[in-house]
Amino acid sequence: MKNKKWIWSIGGILLVFCLGLWIAPSISAKDLTEQEANSMVLEKYPGDIIKTTKTESEYQIEMKLETGVYVIKINAKSGDVLSLVQTEKVEIPVQEIPQQSSNEGKEPIIEDKTSANEPTEVSVITIQEAIDIATKHLKGTADSDDTEFHQIPGQTPYYLVEVEIENGDDDREATVQVDAYTGEVKSVNWDD
């Protein structure tokens, strides 16, 4: 009978210890510093940080990227991207195309008439755009059957594109990760 009491006592102590280890990190987790938050955002979105502000649970980072000015909200503890909103659009000058004798097969140039100061939600690139980016990056081929869209809560959505590179007897395949917001190639994993 005494052996059972010892076993129950030791089991209870181990249970309390394990619960303490499991709960303690979430209670004592410190917020990221402003510098750490800025570094995490710069890793995902290369650009210039204009301003960083912190609320109780998130950082709001205003950044200038190639396509405009964005406000990126990230979780103050984990650094996960919560939202990405474009606040200003960069006006890209339209280059004149030399006139040709025939205009057949040419598409007209359409100007964007939306206000540059109007905040807009950033949309993800299309599956075809992701395929084009991945195949151009590796100089290979891919199709939509070999492409998957992933949107994990708290992370930037992305595409995984399987690209085939034909090189005679040495054909290779790679999986290319393409950022669904920016179109940037994030990683390339070669199949064995």
Per-residue pLDDT band at 87 (split at 50, 70, 90): confident
Q: Does the pLDDT of residue 1 top 50, yes or no? A: yes
Sign of the torsion formed by the C-alpha atoms of 103, 109, 110 and 111: negative
> Was domain 34-91+112-121 assigned CATH 3.10.450.40?
yes
Mapped onto helix, strand or coil, the DSSP state of residue 6 is helix
- Output the pLDDT for position 103: 46
Q: Does the pLDDT of residue 105 top 50, yes or no? A: no
Structure tokens at 83: 């939202």
Distance CA 149, CA 82 (A): 18
For 145, phi and psi rounded to 5 degrees?
A: -70, -25
Longest Cα–Cα distance in the chain: 102
Distance CA 131, CA 33 (A): 37
Per-residue pLDDT band at 107 (split at 50, 70, 90): very low
- For a pLDDT cut of 90, what percent of the chain falls above it? 12
Pick the CATH number of 127-190 from 3.40.50.720, 3.40.50.300, 3.90.1200.10, 3.10.450.40: 3.10.450.40
Q: Does the pLDDT of residue 115 top 70, yes or no? A: no
- Output the pLDDT for position 45: 82
Q: Does the pLDDT of residue 91 top 90, yes or no? A: no
162: nearest Cα among 154, 171, 153: 171
Q: In what order do the strands lie in the sheet with 147-150?
A: 147-150, 158-165, 172-179, 185-190
> What's the pTM value of the predicted model, to 2 decimals?
0.39
Distance CA 119, CA 104 (A): 37
Q: Does the pLDDT of residue 22 top 80, yes or no? A: no
Structure tokens at 27: 């209670």
Answer whether 34-91+112-121 and 127-190 agree in fold: yes
Distance CA 187, CA 174 (A): 10
User: pLDDT by residue (tens digit) across 118-158?
Assistant: 555 667 888 899 999 999 988 888 888 889 988 888 788 89
Q: Where are the domains of the chain?
A: 34-91+112-121, 127-190
Task: Give, in degrees to the nearest 5, the angle at Cα 177 between 175 and 88.
Answer: 160
Whether the CB-CB separation of 32 and 54 falls below 8 Å is answered with: no
Q: Does the pLDDT of residue 117 top 50, yes or no? A: yes
| Averaged confidence pLDDT in the chain | 77
